[in-house]
Amino acid sequence: MTGLGAREKVRNPIRSGLDDRRGADSGRTNVPYQWRNPNSGNYGEVRVNNYFNDSGGFRCANFNQQIFVHGRPQAATGRACQQPDGTWTVVN
C-alpha cells in the first residue's frame, strides 16, 4: 500500500470497506464505499479497481482510496486478497 497514514488505512478500509458486503465483497468495481472510524474520527472512501485470482487461487482486488486523517486528505493505493475465512488482507 502506498500513501501516508498506512496504519489507519490497513485497519479501517480493509476491514470495514473491503470486508463489508457493500465494499469488495459486493463484486462491483469503481463503486465508492465510505467508512468512518468512530474511535479516531478518521474517515474515507475506498474503491475496488479490479478483481483477479492470484497464483495461489485467492480472490484479490486492486483498490484506491481517499482518507481524511485529522481532516487532512491522503490518497493511497493497494492490493488485498480474500482469506479462507472471508476477510480481506492487504498484500502490498
User: What average pLDDT score do residues 56-84 get?
Assistant: 91
Backbone angles phi, psi at 16, to 5 degrees: -95, -25
Residue 21 confidence (pLDDT): 54
> Are the CB atoms for 49 and 65 separated by under 8 Å?
no
Residue 52 confidence (pLDDT): 95
Residue 11, pLDDT > 60, answer no
The three cell numbers of residue 32 are 465508492
Give the tens place of pLDDT for each residue, 28-69: 899 888 888 888 888 989 899 999 999 999 999 999 989 898
Q: Would you list the domain boundaries of the chain?
A: 6-90
Choose between 26 and 36: higher pLDDT. Answer: 36
> Are the CB atoms for 64 and 49 separated by under 8 Å?
yes
How many CB atoms sit inside 10 A of residue 57's CB? 7
